[in-house]
Amino acid sequence: MTRKYFGTDGIRGRANEHPMTADFALALGAAVGRYFRREDDGVHRVVIGKDTRLSGYMFETALTAGLTSGGMNVLLFGPVPTPAVGLLTPSMRADLGIMISASHNPAQDNGIKFFGPDGFKLSDEAEAEIEALLDAGVEPVGAEHIGRARRIEDGLFRYVERVKSSFPAGMRLDGIKVVVDCANGAAYRAAPQVLWELGADVIPVGVSPDGTNINRECGSTKPTMAAESVVAHGADVGLCLDGDADRIILIDETGKVADGDQLMALFAGRWAEQGRLAGNTLVATVMSNLGLERFLGARDITLHRTGVGDRYVVEAMRAQGFNLGGEQSGHIVMTDYATTGDGLMAGLQFLAEMVRTGRKASELTQSFTPVPQLLKNVRYKAGQAPLEMDRVKSAIADGEAQLAEHGRLLIRKSGTEPLIRVMAECEDDALLNSVVDGIVHEVEAATA
């Protein structure tokens, strides 16, 4: 389904450039409010959270204006992680939840994510209907029906308690030294507080947001600072969150980085042993490493792959009743506890395994040996369709034939940029490079 504004995770772009402008946000607020507003005379309510970007103030105000003009009452939480919005939307009996964040993007970008009354992200169909309302324009309600706005001061506390409730009852983190990198983002208060309350010796980094430094040389996409801190402080583990804290990357006591695939392998194996892995299945995207698939297969655990985006992972989980899924990038979705990826909750589950087993982080983050993976992006001009060109199709077919039983090839078009992403996995480095480079060359030649 083609959508005009929505990408794989809400609407995102550079602040003050279309579509991420105050005018657009105002109109969007009116449209999404109209979509979710019930037809009865009950209370119409929306909760709004944000990360620490300077432009968050602008979008929070503009969305509030649009929503209240349509008769929605707005509850403002201020800076909270994205999963907090997913949890608090149904808790507050809201019709809609909104998170203002561009996740792991730099500070000059921003985005708007939506959650339905059940706390789950919207479907493609719902987003398409909102876009139609946005383009058509929405009539404001009469003056007597304009909504109100108020700040909820204890939103952070509510989230902290919910996160702690996911940790095993009676278990403590005494004696465990944890570096937590909050990316100068939405979890800069919540994450250190949760860890401290559970007994950990906490070394916080990336906890001084100034509106412009979110994700700057820190966080899950740039874990070097946290890795250095782990080694320098002799910490037992490092938890690296992104700007809105819905993803996590682990760092072991030696400073080595582990991605979401390793976390999913650990959790899936453990949950299967306990008999709590629903359907004995893990849901992950097409980007997850072949090594993860082999690890799961050896334990008779099914890997169900989806398109890229944690929203598609959650949709598959809900449709088939699975309770564990995620992405290589660090989104870990545990629907027993939350409605979307929650980096802090995933970190607590990892720490619980450290306590339960008495093993070091380095032992728990190496469940499998990843198959070498190579990803290259090829930019093309707007209006072109490289994947429909014969020479590109032929190159892809040839690459698939070369890899055959030796690995895996994935070709996909970016959902946000005019890019073709060429990814392959294979233990033979020469073959891996040859296949990827060959396809990249043909795409470049076909679109020159």
Question: Do 184 and 52 contact (CB within 8 A), yes or no?
Answer: yes
Catalytic residue at 103? yes
d(C-alpha 123, C-alpha 112), whole Å: 15
Per-residue tokens: 376: 């290259």
d(C-alpha 194, C-alpha 198), whole Å: 6
Per-residue tokens: 143: 């003056």
Helices and strands (DSSP H and E) totals, the chain: 14, 18
Q: Which of 55, 103, 229, 329 is catalytic?
A: 103
Question: Do 374 and 421 contact (CB within 8 A), yes or no?
Answer: no
φ/ψ region of 175 (left if φ > 0, alpha if ψ in -120 to 50, else beta) reads left
Query: Phi and psi (nearest 5°) for 206?
Result: 65, 40
Residues 6+ apart with CB under 8 A from 378: 386, 419, 420, 422, 440, 443, 444, 447
Residues 6+ apart with CB under 8 A from 329: 220, 247, 259, 260, 287
d(C-alpha 312, C-alpha 121), whole Å: 10
Question: Do 196 and 227 contact (CB within 8 A), yes or no?
Answer: no
Q: Point out the residues that are catalytic.
A: 103
